[in-house]
Amino acid sequence: MNKTRFSRGALFTALAAAILLWACGSNNAAPADDTAAATETETPAASGFAIEEVQVNSPLNAEWVAAGKSMYEMKCQSCHKLTDEKLVGPGWKDITKRRTPGWIVAMTTNPDEMLQKDPDAQKLLEECLVKMPNQNVSKEEAMQLLEFMRQNDGAK
């Protein structure tokens, strides 16, 4: 017999995720852009978000690190610690070892689409249950944040 069973925990997670998706519907259901109103919810792409490759600096750009730090304090610190402790979202310790630079920039600048399309991002949502908010971070600012993360992880 090959019956699939849901554990209570899995059911709860699925339910919570469903509630979350519903509650955040106005963000999630592809709100209308410039041209016309969306007719219905977009079906998520089967896989993947087009993550751009990102070149990193060696050695670190000190100005970027400083700018990234103040950006972190203003827009990220509420939910992310610099240790490996999870607050609302995962702690940042070793994040640059777990994720590619491109993934970090994509997640920072475009969390809405990443949460719709990227399996790793979706997995994080299942763990954290709070959608990472779009904090209106530009590509340039994301690069500075990345620099700060790399410094936090010991890069020189």
Partner 1 sequence: MKRFTSRLFLATAAAATLAGGLHSCKPKGGATSTASADAASKVYVAPGKYDEFYNVVSGGFNGQIGIYGIPSGRLLRIVPVFSVSTESGYGFSEETKPLLNTSHGEVPWDDLHHIALSQTNGEHDGRWAFANGNNTPRLARIDLSTFRTSEILEIPNSAGNHASPFITQNSEYIVAATRFSVPLDDQNGDVPINTYKDNFKGSISFVSINQQSGEMNIAFQIRTPGLNFDLSRAGKGKSHGWFFFSCYNSEKANTLLEVNASARDKDFVMAVNWKKAEEYVKAGRAKKQAVNYAHNVYDENTHTATSTMKKEVLVLDPTEFPDLLYMIPCPKSPHGTDTDPTGEYIVASGKLAATIPVFSFTKMQEAIANKSFEGNYDGIPVLKYDAVLHGEVQKPGLGPLHTEFDGRGNAYTSMFVSSEIVKWDIKTLKVLDRVPTYYSIGHLSVPGGPTTKPHGKYMVAYNKITKDRYLPTGPELTQSAQLYDISGEKMKLLLDFPTTGEPHYAEALPAALIKDKQRKIFKIEENTHPFAAKGEGQAKVERKGNQVHVWMTAIRSHLTPDNIEGIKVGDEVYFHVTNLEQDWDVPHGFAIKGANTAEILVMPGETQTLKWKAEKVGIFPFYCTDFCSALHQEMQGYLRVSPAGSSVALHFSTGTNKAAPADTSAVKP
Shortest gap between Cβ of 137 and partner 1 (angstroms)? 8
Residues 73-92 that bind partner 1 (CB under 8 A): 73-75, 77-79, 87-88
150: closest CA among 37, 53, 72? 72
121 CB contacts (<8 Å, ≥6 apart)?
A: 49, 107, 111, 114, 115, 132
Residues 7-26 that bind partner 1 (CB under 8 A): 16, 19-20, 23-24, 26
| # of chain residues touching partner 1 (CB under 8 A) | 31
Cα distance between residue 112 and residue 117, in whole Å: 9
- Residues within the interface to partner 1 (CB under 8 A): 16, 19-20, 23-24, 26-27, 31-32, 34, 36-40, 73-75, 77-79, 87-88, 129-131, 133-137
